[in-house]
Amino acid sequence: MENKNDQLPLWEVFIQKGGSPFKHEGSIHASDKNMALQNARDIYTRRGEGRLIWVVPSSSIAATTVEEEAEFFDPADDKIYRHPTFYKMPEGAKNI
């Protein structure tokens, strides 16, 4: 069988709807960015799921890893004073 590794490169698809942030919707295969945009449109927006699309080669995405998770996010773990509930408000104070 002669179909070994004949898939086009992988791209990640991000779509924006309304005023929301771009959201990762999935991935597609395409040979270049124009084909990637068209394939993303055909696969992820057949029913008006958005009007702006970003495509990014999957190989260009840097990601955190599960192994490093604890260490990587550690700096935020002990800073509860970043949350509003940390602070004591005087008795009777309103609208704050």
Partner 1 sequence: MTEEEKLKRFNALIEQDEKIEPKDWMPDAYRKTVLRQMTQHAHSEVIGMQPEGNWVLRAPTLRAKKILLAKIQDEGGHGLYLYSAAETLGMDRSEMIQQLHEGKAKYSQIFNYPTLNWADIGAIGWLVDGAAIVNQVSLQRTSYGPYSRAMVRICKEESFHQRQGYEIMATMMNGTEAQKEMAQDAMNRWWWPSLMMFGPSDKDSWHTQESMQWKIKRASNDDLRQKFIDKTVDQAYVIGLTVPDKDLKFNETSKHWEIGAINWDEFWNVVKGNGLCNHKRIAHHIKYHNEGQWVRQAVLAYSEKINAMQSATSL
Query: Which residues contact partner 1 (rule: CB under 8 A)?
Result: 1-8, 10, 26-29, 31-32, 35, 42-43, 46-47, 63, 65-66
CA 10 – CA 26 distance, rounded (Å): 10
CB of 91 to partner 1, least distance (A): 39
CB of 33 to partner 1, least distance (A): 9
Looking at beta carbons only, is 67 or 91 nearer to partner 1?
A: 67
Best CA proximity match to 12, nearest among 51, 48, 61, 79: 61
CA 95 – CA 42 distance, rounded (Å): 49
